[in-house]
Amino acid sequence: MNAFKLSWKNITHRPWRSGLAILLMASGLSIVIILILTQGQIDEKFEKNLSDIDLVVGAKGSPLQLVLSSVYHIDNPTGNIKEKQTTLLKRHPFIEKSIPICLGDNYKSFRIVGSTHEYLELYDAKVKDGNLWEKPMEIVVGANVFEKFPGKLKVGSCIAGGHGIGGEALEEHNHSHDDAPYKVVGVLESTGTVIDNLLICEYTSSWIVHAGHGGGASLDLKMELDPPTPDSTMVDSNSVDSIPAEPIEEVIEEHNHDVHNHDEHNHDDHGHDHGHHHHHAIECGTMNTDSILATIPEDKKEITAVLVKYKNQRGQLTIPNMINSNSSMMAANPSIERDRMLKLVDSGIQTANLMGIFVLVISAISVFIALFSSLKDRGYEIALTRVLGARRPKVFLMIVGEGLILSVLGYILALIISHVGMWIVSGILESNYHYSFNAWDFSIFEVYLFGVALIIGLISALIPATKAYLTDISTTLSK
Amino acid sequence: MIKVDNISFAYKGSDAMSFPSFALEQGEHALVLGQSGCGKTSLLHLMAGLIKPNEGSVVIDGTNVSKISGSEMDRFRGGNIGIIFQKPHFVKAIRVLENVMLAQNLGGKKKNKAKAISILTKLGLEHKINARVNNLSEGEKQRVSIARALVNSPKLILADEPTSALDDENCKAVLNLLKEVSKESNSTLLIVTHDNRLKDQFDKKIELS
């Protein structure tokens, strides 16, 4: 029966009191761990996803919203701009890259982004399987999206986009472009960036999708009648004539979305019992995209935003100003917007951090109380161990040992709580925003935190241990 | 083997108590008698080195326990003196056998499970070795504390009112056990008591007044 074992037995002998101390310690530590991990991963994600983008140009509105929607794919777009407005960006001598972004459709809540190959180059995305698209209506699939729908997004599959952008796809009204299916031509390798959660195609695809049926025309008409206000979200994401997204099999088979049979629409019931549906799905990849594109008038060619990379420093000085004052478009600096947002996030994290520290202080007190009060009952035991030959330092170490054991157990529990907690939160974030944390990433701070836990255990054990050290055997035994 | 020479002791703010001098040979058994409050327990604590006398000396087996330092005393006591208290106390978090073996560990002796078990068996506690100390009867507790005091085969056994909480039957049993086991290990046995039932059981008596 060595001192450590005795400390351990004394802890397990008082399971409730020890358990409370451990639980409090674990709560405090896990709050801090979760915050550290979250902050680290948020910062990293926002940094990575920004890539080399110097400027985002889009419809006027909130610059933060523009950046969030077009770079991070979180928020709704601010609206659309005409492609012809952006031609000056393509030709400008200070601009190295201008990459169009077209948003507005989704595949089962994952965003379909229309862009160019350059967009993939921004994130060093490599094709794992298949190829990049060669023409409109061919699509490549991000790694996470591919995994989310096993077997459904293989190269060669046909998929139909739903109308509306990703985050809102779970809402009831979602419009399916089942008559203009995409053909999956490639699957991307995981990049750890936002690309993993996207499906990407040539930006002209969305014009074809919307021109291919009556819905597109009405959509454009609506936009003209009702131009986007600065803060309006994507005009059509909640449009009344959209219908819920349906699983692809049903969509293709039912195929009831046609401008001519709008009256037959059953908005309430999309079950399998639609006996009267036509089966005339267009085979994907067979569409003559060039001829469709040729029919689209210039002012119907709209995009959501342009991601700009400057050629040199002078771009920074002239281009944002040029766009903001001389055009109906808006230029937003993504680094500034990101910092603005991280600042908001950080102040929240700071507050939560204070809370964590507060809980840690409480836990230190609870370890102290657990030891101190148990020592009160154990005064005689301490004297007894001295009588049996234990010297003062040994008695001191035994109590300190109890404090340390409590804090180590608290730390282990905290690791479990925080990482499982992260895993749960990550799942929620994933389903709501397609933004996920890696719950099993460990930070070096967790190692430091182990030190903190030990110090807490040590400090809170110090007074009880000193008390045990100073126990007067004779008086205690005479009581 | 133990020599108590002219010692006196004063608790803070109290008058000094002085104790008669006496000496015991190795293996000798003796009784220290006296009424409550006459300093019996203080004498026992002085002999065990738990407190130091203001004057005089206690020499055990050639070691002047009144002079050595606190931690040396702890070690000396752990290895050479077995103490049985009036009220048996244990480390409640551990079992009966573990409590007995704790004395081996803290007394600086080798872990010897067989010896601990054999002593407990001798005291009729073989079926209780894995019991919780709180679940023992008073008589059993006293026997466990005897086992704990004896497990290191100490040269000196000090017992403070070991029988006062026991009925006649248990009193006799405990006393016989104490005598028997100390005889076996040739330990010097000194019992401090006001229990008159023990009076006739010992030849050597030291009276405190």
Type of residue found at A347: S
> What's chain A's average pLDDT?
80
| Residues comprising chain A, all counted | 479
Is the model's pLDDT at A314 over the cut of 90?
no
Name every residue whose Cβ is closer than 8 Å to that of residue A380 and which is 6 or more positions away in sequence: A476, A477, A479, B89
pLDDT band for B192, please (50, 70, 90 cuts): very high
In chain B, what are the domain boundaries?
2-207
Distance (Å) of CA A223 to CA A226, A227, B101, B148? 5, 5, 88, 93
Is the model's pLDDT at A244 over the cut of 90?
no
Closest Cα in chain A to B102: A1
Contact B90 A385 (CB under 8 A): no
pTM: 0.73
Gap between the Cα atoms of B124 and B143, Å rounded: 8
Contact B78 A390 (CB under 8 A): yes
Asked whether A155 and A133 are in contact (CB, 8 A), the reply is no
Q: Residue A282: what pLDDT?
A: 54
3-state helix, strand, coil in chain A (%, to 5): 55, 15, 30
Helices (H), chain B: 40-47, 70-80, 96-106, 113-122, 138-150, 168-184
Is the model's pLDDT at A240 over the cut of 60?
no
CA distance B49 to chain A (A): 9
Best of B52, B76, B91, B96 to mutate (most A CBs within 10 Å, chain A): B91
Our CA dihedral for B146, B151, B157, B162, rounded to 10 degrees, sits at -10
pLDDT band for A229, please (50, 70, 90 cuts): very low
Contact A391 B92 (CB under 8 A): no
In 3D space, the residue among A281, A70, A320 whose CA is nearest the CA of residue A178 turns out to be A281
Name every residue whose Cβ is closer than 8 Å to that of residue A321 and which is 6 or more positions away in sequence: none
Is the model's pLDDT at B148 over the cut of 90?
yes
User: CB-CB: which of A380, A389, A477 is closest to B106?
Assistant: A389
A385 CB near a chain B CB, below 8 Å?
yes
Q: Which residues of B touch A393 (CB under 8 A)?
A: 71
pLDDT band for B130, please (50, 70, 90 cuts): very high
Name every residue whose Cβ is closer than 8 Å to that of residue A199 and which is 6 or more positions away in sequence: A107, A110, A111, A112, A113, A139, A140, A141, A142, A145, A159, A182
Per-residue pLDDT tens over the stretch A162-200:
887 654 444 444 566 666 788 899 999 988 888 898 999
Q: Which residues of B touch A7 (CB under 8 A)?
A: none
Contact B77 A389 (CB under 8 A): yes
Contact B77 A387 (CB under 8 A): yes
Quote ipTM for the complex: 0.90
Per-residue pLDDT tens over the stretch A38-64:
888 888 888 888 888 899 999 999 999
Name every residue whose Cβ is closer than 8 Å to that of residue A118 and which is 6 or more positions away in sequence: A97, A99
Angle between helices A444-469 and A334-387 (to 10 degrees): 30
Gap between the Cα atoms of A332 and A68, Å rounded: 11
Tell whether domain B2-207 is in CATH 3.40.50.300: yes
Per-residue pLDDT tens over the stretch B11-67:
888 888 889 999 999 999 999 998 877 888 899 999 999 999 999 999 999 899 888
